[in-house]
Amino acid sequence: MSEKIFVSNATNELKEVIVCSPKYYVFNAINEITKSWMEKGETEHNEQMVSEWETLVQAYRDNGVVVHEVEAKKQLQVQTFARDFGCMVKEGAIIGKFRHPARQKETELYEEKLKELGVPIVARVNAGCMEGGDFWMLDEHTLAFGLVDRTDEAGLHNLREQLAKFGYTVVGVPVAPANLHLDMVFNIVAPGICIAATDELPHNFIQMLKRRNFKIIHVPSELVFKHGCNVQALGNGKVLGIENNQSVNEAMEAEGLEVIKLPLEQILKAGGGPHCMTYPVRRA
């Protein structure tokens, strides 16, 4: 019997995802974006958030992606960002460790869903922290983890040890903590094409991308907090983007990509975009 492959790169056709509704989302000052909105007196507007989130779910279904929903729990205020409890490689799931107590109880609910879907857990962070928004497969053998605000050196070393047996090289990418996660400043959108807030990324990481022959689409730093990099590759030359990020959308379209533009506004104030709201289960 051939082994099931879950996710072997960042751009194969997306087949299955896990998501969670923001219906109980509560603004929480654990990231710079939400903090600044809260200082302006902004509140959640959950109905609007849910309706925007439903456009994401519909876009997945329209593109043949199987959507598995984890039930939102009222006591878990930040649960809608399904990406962050862990990440996925060829062999199965890696379970991370949330830095903030407000998010730590989410893990068991997402783990239950993985068990229900028959996804094996191949590694688990048991020292330090790691959140899925910091994870990228640069190629089938190289795993990059952002060392930003939510993943630390201890978590990185812990995973490096556990993943060595699968032949993965694990690299850390230090980025200023205000950027929250690596997926806020970097995103692989198609084979050999990435979008990157290059002024926020370390020189050696950019060199690593160039050595792998990535075409790098530059995203200005002022678009980081507008989720300029926070898009989701569907595979087959399609990307889920954000309607308002016109310049980034046009730059991706100039590379021949089809950008499906989601009308996200209120949900972005919670500090995450399409990439943050999606845990990929399988790419084929």
For tokens 């094409």, the residue is: 193
pLDDT of residue 231: 98
Contact 260, 218 (CB under 8 A): no
pLDDT, block means (10 residues), the chain with 284 residues = 83 98 79 67 79 97 98 87 97 96 93 98 98 97 97 98 98 96 97 98 98 98 95 98 97 98 88 93 97
pLDDT of residue 271: 76
Cα angle: 220, vertex 98, 114; to 5 degrees: 105
pLDDT of residue 79: 85
pLDDT of residue 36: 73
Q: Report the distance separating Cα 206 and Cα 5, nearest Å.
A: 29
- Among 190, 192, 168, 185, smallest CA distance to 219 is for 185
Q: Report the distance separating Cα 178 and Cα 55, nearest Å.
A: 28
Q: Report the distance separating Cα 156 and Cα 166, nearest Å.
A: 16
pLDDT of residue 144: 98
Architecture of domain 14-283: 5-stranded Propeller (3.75)
Cα angle: 91, vertex 227, 257; to 5 degrees: 70
Contacts of 99 (CB under 8 A, 6+ apart): 129, 131, 149, 150, 152
User: Could you tell me the pTM of the whole model?
Assistant: 0.94
